[in-house]
Structure 1
Amino acid sequence: MYKVYGDYQSGNCYKVKLMLSLLGIPHQWHAVDILNGETETSAFLAKNPNGKIPVLELEDGMCLWESNAILNFLAEGSEFLPKEPRLRTQVLQWQFFEQYSHEPYVAVARFIQLYLGLPQERRAEYEGLHKRGHKALRVMEKQLQLTPFLVGEQYSIADVALYAYTHVAHEGGFDLGEYPAIQTWLKRVESHPRHVGMLD
C-alpha cells in the first residue's frame, strides 16, 4: 500500500490525497508537522533530501516527491492524464503555471495568514503577494470562461493541481467573488463522485 507523508492543510499534499481518492487507490497517511521541523529529521531527509512534503512512498520503498510529479505518476494511463500530445502538454503547461505563477503567491499568502497569523512584519510581503496572486487568478478565469476545465472538456490533473490552493484562497485573503468562472469550476470539480475534501 502507498504511504503519503504530508500535512492535511497543505495544498500540495492535498493534491496527492485528492488524486488517490479520484483513482480509488488505498493508502496510508503519515502526518508530518512542518512547523516543528519534522521535515528536517534524518529519517525524513532519507525519503526526500529536499526536506519538503508531500512524499509518496511506493510498496517497494521508493519515494517520489514534488506534488505535480506525483500527480503525473499516479494519473498515468487514467482518464486524468490525456494521451494526445498537445493536450498532455497543456496539462504540463498548467502544472508549471501553478508552481511558478500561482502557488508562490496564493499559497504563500495563505501560509502567512493561516499558519503564521498574519504577523505585522510580513504584512507588506502579504500585500505584494496579493497583486501577483490576482494576476494568476485572472489567467485562470479567462480560460475557464472558455472551457469547463483547464484543458478543455476533461477533468485532468491540471485541475487537481490548481484546485488545491484555489479553493482555499480565501484563507489567504483572496476574494473569489470577482471570478465567477472559477467559482463555477470549483463546484464542477467538487461534484465528482470520488471527490474528497482537504480535511475529510
Structure 2
Amino acid sequence: MFDPQDENWSRDWLSANLDASEESIAKLDTLLKALLTEAESQNLIARGTVPYAWSRHIVDSAQLLTYVPRETQSWLDLGTGAGFPGLVCAALLPSCRFTLAEQRPLRTDWLNRAAQQMRLDNVDVVTANVSQLPEAKFEAISARAFAPLPRLLRLSAAFSTKATEWLLPKGRSAKQELEDLKGWRHTFHVEQSVTDPQSGIIIGKLLGPK
C-alpha cells in the first residue's frame, strides 16, 4: 500500500509546482491503482518502490514538465515501460500529443489499457524499437532509464530539431554521462531531481554532430 505521507507530499507538489487540477491528479491515482493490479501478472515496477510510488514514479516523472513550455504540442517518450514518464506527463499536459514508444508487446498492451482507464485522448502507443518508428519531429523527447547517452542520441537524434527539449532522467550517472559525451554539439546540463538529491536529469537541446 502507498504511504499516506508520501502521497500527500506528492499531491501538494503537483498542485504547487504544476498547478495540477483535481481531474489530472485523479487520473494519476487511477494509473497507480491499475499498476498495482497489473503488477500481479507482470513486473512493471520494483516492489520496494510501491509505498513511495507517488514520489518515486509520479513526481519523478511529472518534474520534467517544469522544463518545457506549457505550449508544447508534441512529445516522444522512448522506452515508456510502465508509463513513466509518458502517461504521467500526458495526464498533466492534456493539450500536448504524446507518442509512447515501447518495443515489448506486454508493456504496450498495458500502456493502451492504462491510457484507456485514465481516459487519456492525447496518447499514441507504438509497439516498436526506435529504428522502426515513423519519421517525425517532436518538440520534446524524454527517456527514463532507456540507454546510455551516446547510444540514445545516435538512435533518436533524427526525431529532434535544434529547438527540441531533451529530458533525460539519468539517476546518479547523469553528470558522468554528460562529461563523457563526445561528438555532439548541445546545450545539455544536469538538473537535480526533486525526488532524490543524488539523481540528475540531463536537460537541454541537441544542436547536431560535431
TM-score (norm 1): 0.29
Q: Which one has more relative contact order, counting CA pairs under 8 Å at least 6 apart? A: 1
Give the number of the structure whose residues are more often strand, by fraction: 2
TM-score (norm 2): 0.28
Give the number of the structure whose residues are more often helix, by fraction: 1
